[in-house]
Structure formats: structure tokens, C-alpha cells
Amino acid sequence: MNCPTTNEVACEKDGTSAVRNRTYRVEGLRIPTLSDGRRLIADNHRSIFIGKRTPNLLYLSRRCKSENNTMRNTILEPRTKILMMLVSGCLVILLDSPTALLVCFVGSLALVALSIPTWRQIGLLCAFLFFTTWGLIYSQAIFYNEFPRTVLFTLVPADLPLIGKMTGGIRVYREGLFHGIVQSLRFNTTLVIGCFIVWTTQPRDLLLALTQLRVPATLAFMVTTALHFIPVITNEAATVFRSQRLRGFRYLRLNLFATCRGVINSFRPILAGNIRHATHLGESVESRGFSPEMATRRTSLRSLKMGVWDYSLLAVLFVCLIGVVGLKLLYFFYANGIYYASWLRHAYTFTREVL
């Protein structure tokens, strides 16, 4: 059940109503009593009927609030999440082994799993991972230009008129597939951690965390505003697509030109709505006297404090980062004949095989 968050809460003590056609308010929702004693909760395009003897409405409002904040209660502090993403980004760049990258990817998935995501978020994450993985593997398999390379099969032969002669043939290479898998593991790890931060951190906490990390106020505000606009754009697009379907338009049609024209026409109200939201946001910011000079002296009633879990996780991540950098440097010196020590043979082997 989706409920808007406002401070207006009404409570019915005994769960019954002595007066018919009476209107209640729960978390900003107007709940009229119907002629037969049932109550109707209207949430956008959905309606939920509640029986005559409804449980305490204050409990219902609290339940709505807890369901909306399912992903908000995490033990990690926002600064820890930001630093974790930075360290993880450095690790996936330094690591070359698919095994090590797979461990990083599984760790990022574990973070999302521990935060108890909703089914909608799980589906959205799976869609992101599928399209990014498929795109990277497919593109790298076709456009891989390193040698040696092994042809698995040919998509377009070189002797095919026009396309074959222009491209010299389009082939899928085995080394390209392997390279695409490695690149997809790198990209998906940062993607999953980014989704974890967005889904478990409120914009005000993220802005406060960036400010305490000495990020310039203008940049911190831009990042927070961009993250805030992601659900706005999603809701605007869903509203437009739903309106188009209600008017009888179908996006998947045999007429490709009609489909493209419909998609382009759908972008216009989405763009107009986003411009309207951005204009309102700009006016709101200006009316509140926001400026980069004053943002550095801005105070907040909320305070961020790191706990044991935050320090422990950051310590493990920084130890891993320092260890990987050190081992990579030692192996680089060994491979280029700059420095070699016999007692570091196991470190060289570990770096070559695992990292």
C-alpha cells in the first residue's frame, strides 16, 4: 500500500463510526464512509475497501509509513556508503581476475539483500543488470580488436554484398566474450552499490554526508538533486505511458513508424513535466536564499555519527585496497625487471593467479 507522507494523522479509537458519510484523514488520505458502512481509501488510481469494523486507523497509518520506509533503516551511515562506493570503484579498476571481480559483485549483491529490498526494486535491479551485461558482452564480442583472437562464429560474412564489403565481415570472438564478462562485472558492481545507496539513503542525509566529507556545496547539491529527480522522472513517464494506453495507443505494433512516432510524442509531456518540476525547484531554492557561499555555514538539526559497523567495514575495505595496490606494484616491478626477491615468490604467484 502506497501512502503519501504528511503530518496529518487522525485516529479512530474504537474502529467504528457513529455517523455515516463522514470523512477521515490518514497520512493525507481522505477516507469517506460509504452508505453501507464500508470505508474507501483512494490512492491515485487504486481503491482499497475496508470493512465496517476497521482496525485502529492510527495503526494503519503507521503501517503505511513503515512500508514506505522499508529500505530506509540500515545500520550503515551515509558517509560510509559513499566511501565504500569510492573504494569499491578503485578495487574493480585494479582487479583483473574474473574470480576477484565476482567476489566484489557478490558482496555488492549481499549489501542489497541485507537491506531487504522490495519486489519492485529487485525487478528493476535485475533489468539493469541484464541489459548492461548483455550490451557489454555483445559489444565486446563483436568489436574486440586485440590479438590473438579466436572466431566462434560469423554473423555477416565478408563476401556479403554491401554490408560485408563495408565492414569486412562481422564475427564473434571468444576473447571478446571473456573481456565483456570482465567488464560487465566491473560495471555491475558499481551499479549495484549505487542502487544500494540511492534506495537506502534519504536525500537530506546524502547532502549532509557530502557536506561533512568536504565536498563543494554546489556539487553536493547537484548530486542530491539529480538523485531526487530519478523517481520524479520515473513517475512522470509512468503517468504518460498509462495515459497513452488508456487512450488506446499500443507501443508494440507491426507499424514501426507509428510506434516510433508514439514514443517520440510521449517524450514531449515527460520533458515538459520535468522542466516544470525543475523550474519549481529553482524557484524554491531561490526563495530560501540558497547560495554556495552560505551553504558552507549551513547548520542542520540532524547529525551523522559513525558506529562500530561503519568503522569495521571501512577498515576492511581500506586494508583490501592497500593490499591490492601493494601486490600490484610488487608484481609490476617483478614483471619489468625492476625489483625481484625470492621470498616474494608466493606473492607474485598470488597476484598473477588471483588478482
* DSSP letters for 169-192: -EEEEHHHHHHHHHHHHHHHHHHH
Domain boundary residue, one of 69, 97, 129: 69
Distance CA 326, CA 312 (A): 21
**Do 294 and 317 fall into the same domain?**
no
Residue 120, in any domain of the structure: no
Domain co-membership, 284 together with 312 = no
First and final C-alpha spacing in the chain: 46
Per the structure, the complete domain to which residue 21 belongs is given by 1-69
Would residue 88 be called left, alpha or beta, if left means φ above 0 and alpha means ψ between -120 and 50 degrees?
A: alpha
CA torsion through residues 241, 242, 244, 250, sign: positive
Residues 278, 346 within the same domain = no
Q: Please classify residue 156 by burial: count the beta carbons closer than 10 Å to its beta carbon, then call 0-12 exposed, 13-18 middle and 19+ buried.
A: middle
Half-sphere exposure of 233 (CA within 13 A, CB side): 11
CB 92 within 8 Å of CB 186: yes
Do 282 and 345 lie in one domain? The reply is no
Give, for all 355 residues of the chain, the pLDDT tens digit. 444 443 333 333 333 333 333 444 444 444 444 444 444 444 433 334 344 334 433 333 333 333 344 444 567 888 899 999 999 999 999 998 889 999 999 999 998 998 888 888 888 899 989 998 988 888 888 888 888 888 888 887 877 777 777 777 888 888 888 989 999 999 999 999 988 988 888 888 888 888 888 888 778 888 888 877 877 888 888 888 888 888 777 766 667 777 777 778 888 888 888 888 888 888 887 787 777 666 666 666 777 788 888 899 899 999 999 999 999 999 999 988 888 888 888 888 998 888 8
Q: Indicate if 237 and 262 belong to the same structural domain.
A: yes
Query: Do 299 and 348 reside in the same domain of the chain?
Result: no
Residues 15 and 59 in one domain: yes
| Inside any domain, residue 348 | yes
Domain boundary among 46, 69, 92: 69
The three cell numbers of residue 297 are 555555514
Structural domain total, the chain: 3
Residue 139 counted as domain residue? no
Write down how long the chain is: 355
Does 254 share its domain with 284?
yes
Residue 157 belongs to some domain of the structure = no
275-283 long-range contacts (CB < 8 A, ≥24 apart) are 277/229, 277/232, 277/236, 278/229, 281/225
Kindly state whether residue 160 falls inside one of the protein's structural domains: no
Q: How far apart are CA 12 and CA 26, in angstroms?
A: 10
Q: For residue 286, is it within any domain?
A: yes
Burial of 29 (0-12, 13-18, 19+ CB in 10 A): buried
pTM for the structure as a whole: 0.69
